[in-house]
């Protein structure tokens, strides 16, 4: 990627993707290293079910993969649609699952507001990144 020819908008998109990748990767590291701390300190987590160290570490691995994939799309622009799309798919399914839990009465609706910054917003950003990458991919521009 020739950085001197990138527009300000393109640099902003890649900066957002890079920042999101760092945040999600760091979340995965914390979940992996200290699942009990993550469980007690992340607002709302304890209200979603009992502490399960194994489950938290399983999900931590997903966050490490998602963070890495987002960064991969930054470093290798030709793969950004695939890498950001895969990340956005899991993050979106995760957000939809949280909505489902509210819809069936497992959690109260206040959880959606509480979860928005950590669950729904990353999903929306990832979907937006993917759509941007797709619209700006060489195969889409005819």
Give a three-class secondary structure readout of 26-90: HHHHHHHHCHHHHHHHCCCHHHHCCCCHHHHHHHHHHHHHHHHHHHHHHHCHHHHHHHHHHHHHH
Q: How confident is the model at residue 141 (pLDDT cuts 50, 70, 90)?
A: low
Which pLDDT score, from 0 to 100, does residue 77 have? 94
Nearest CA among 36, 98, 94 for reference residue 66: 94
Which pLDDT score, from 0 to 100, does residue 44 have? 83
Q: How confident is the model at residue 6 (pLDDT cuts 50, 70, 90)?
A: confident
Q: How confident is the model at residue 5 (pLDDT cuts 50, 70, 90)?
A: confident
**Whole-angstrom distance, CA of residue 18 vs CA of residue 110:** 30
Q: What tens digit of pLDDT does each residue of 18-64 get?
A: 999 999 999 999 999 999 999 999 988 888 889 999 999 999 999 99
Whether the Cβ atoms of residue 30 and residue 38 lie closer than 8 Å to each other: yes
Residue with the two structure tokens 């990767």: 25
Q: Rounded mean pLDDT of 87-95?
A: 97
Which pLDDT score, from 0 to 100, does residue 142 have? 56
Domain spans of the chain, in order of start: 3-135
Q: In this predicted model, which residue has the larger pLDDT, 140 or 104?
A: 104
Q: What tens digit of pLDDT does each residue of 99-133 get?
A: 999 999 988 899 899 999 999 999 999 999 999 99
pTM of this structure: 0.90
């Amino acid at each position: 990627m020739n950085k001197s020819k990138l527009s300000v908008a393109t640099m902003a998109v890649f900066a957002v993707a890079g920042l999101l990748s760092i945040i999600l990767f760091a979340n995965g590291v914390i979940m992996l290293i200290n699942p009990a701390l993550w469980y007690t300190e992340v607002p709302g987590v304890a209200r979603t079910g009992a502490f399960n160290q194994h489950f938290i570490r399983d999900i931590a691995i997903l966050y490490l993969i998602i963070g890495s994939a987002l960064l991969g799309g930054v470093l290798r622009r030709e793969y950004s649609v695939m890498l950001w799309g895969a990340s956005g798919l899991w993050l979106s399914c995760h957000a939809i699952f949280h909505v489902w839990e509210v819809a069936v009465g497992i959690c109260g609706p206040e959880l959606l507001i509480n979860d928005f910054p950590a669950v729904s917003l990353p999903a929306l950003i990832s979907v937006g990144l993917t759509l941007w990458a797709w619209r700006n991919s060489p195969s889409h521009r005819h």
